[in-house]
């Protein structure tokens, strides 16, 4: 039997909060969106907390390494798609952000198959911070200030998404030797 440590439980909590987030987020009214913002903020906080606890308590596990990025992607996509439906973010921006996630995930799988580990860089962490900030403003888009802050921060998140994806690809190509490159093609 696999015992799940506290950091992994926090990651699972993030995933389990997503349906609750969606229940409140699908309404265009203030109070449901306010509760959605609280749920999203709580889920986003678990992203920082699970990683911090895993490192501090030396409880980094393979399950955590695999599950944490999946939980992050599920949370962000689950929030952005209803925000498109609520007309709070342009679909093309969400396509770029989600497309980046697919591209980087695919690249990391290829890198792993080649024995190359690509760590999350600071751009990826800034991207996640910008996404969280943007999503919170977009969920609470009930006044002009939050509207503009949400629009500006989602554009920042999109730019950071593209830049951090570029960084992943550059890291991969720089670490790929000629022999491994021949195997890919």
pLDDT in tens, 133-170: 999 999 999 999 999 999 999 999 999 999 999 999 99
| 34-48, 109-123, 151-165: least confidently modelled range | 109-123
Q: The domain spanning residue 141 has which CATH number?
A: 1.20.120.1760
Is 132 within the bounds of a domain? yes
pLDDT of residue 180: 60
Q: How confident is the model at residue 182 (pLDDT cuts 50, 70, 90)?
A: low
* Boundaries of domain holding 121: 6-184
53-98: per-residue pLDDT in tens?
988 999 988 888 889 989 999 999 999 999 999 999 999 999 999 9
What is residue 63's predicted lDDT score, i.e. its pLDDT?
Answer: 85
Contacts of 15 (CB under 8 A, 6+ apart): 67, 70, 71, 74, 75
**pLDDT of 66:** 85
- Tokens at residue 138, please? 């977009």
Burial class (CB in 10 A: 0-12, 13-18, 19+), 123: middle
Query: Residue 116 in contact with residue 159, Cβ under 8 Å?
Result: no
Residue 170 has a CB neighbour count (10 Å cut-off) of 10
Task: With respect to residue 1, please indicate whether it lies within any of the assigned structural domains.
Answer: no
Percent of the chain with pLDDT over 70: 94
pLDDT at 97: 98
**Structural domain includes residue 161:** yes
Residue with the bigger pLDDT between 63 and 14: it is: 14
How many structural domains comprise the chain? 1
Model confidence at 178: pLDDT above 90: no
Confidence class of residue 181 from pLDDT cuts 50, 70 and 90? Answer: low
What value does the mean pLDDT of the chain take?
A: 91
- pTM, two decimal places: 0.91
Residue 45, pLDDT > 90, answer: yes
Please tell me the predicted confidence (pLDDT) of residue 74.
96
């Amino acid at each position: 039997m696999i015992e799940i440590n506290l950091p992994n439980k926090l990651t699972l909590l993030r995933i389990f909060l997503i349906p609750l987030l969606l229940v409140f987020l699908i309404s265009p009214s203030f109070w449901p969106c306010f509760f959605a913002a609280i749920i999203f903020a709580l889920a986003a906080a678990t992203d920082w907390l699970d990683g911090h606890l895993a490192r501090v308590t030396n409880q980094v596990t393979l399950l955590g390494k695999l599950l944490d990025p999946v939980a992050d992607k599920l949370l962000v996509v689950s929030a952005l798609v209803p925000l498109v439906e609520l007309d709070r973010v342009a679909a093309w921006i969400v396509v770029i952000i989600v497309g980046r996630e697919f591209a980087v995930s695919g690249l990391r799988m290829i890198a792993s198959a080649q024995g190359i580990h690509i760590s999350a860089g600071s751009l990826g962490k800034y991207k996640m911070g910008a996404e969280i900030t943007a999503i919170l403003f977009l969920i609470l888009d009930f006044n002009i200030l939050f509207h503009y802050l949400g629009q500006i921060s989602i554009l920042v998140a999109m730019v950071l998404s593209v830049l951090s994806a570029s960084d992943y690809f550059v890291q991969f190509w720089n670490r790929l030797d000629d022999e491994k490159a021949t195997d890919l093609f």
